Amino acid sequence: GEEYITLLSPRKKDIRMLGLGYSVGTTKDGITADAIVVESFAELKRRSDE
């Protein structure tokens, strides 16, 4: 199936995502967390300390 997150601030918007290994399952109350947007696995590797 498709995975997505819902951005709540500064406005509500659904965003496609890819959950990688050891991702936490979502409860009915949802999850609140910081996120970063990357365009490639290379960028993800460069930004791995974030």
Q: Give the pLDDT confidence of 2-11 residue by residue, as tens digits.
A: 888 888 888 9
| Helix, strand, or coil (residue 13) | strand
Q: What is the Cβ-side half-sphere exposure of residue 5, based on CA atoms within 13 angstroms?
A: 17
DSSP letter assigned to residue 29:
T
pLDDT of residue 45: 95
pLDDT of residue 5: 86
Parent domain of 22:
1-49
What b-and-e string marks burial along 8-17, b requiring 16 or more CB atoms within 10 Å of the CB? eeeeeeeeee
DSSP letter assigned to residue 44:
H
Chain segment 12-48, per-residue pLDDT in tens? 999 888 888 787 778 888 888 888 889 999 999 999 9
- pTM strictly above 0.85: no
In the chain, how many domains are there?
A: 1
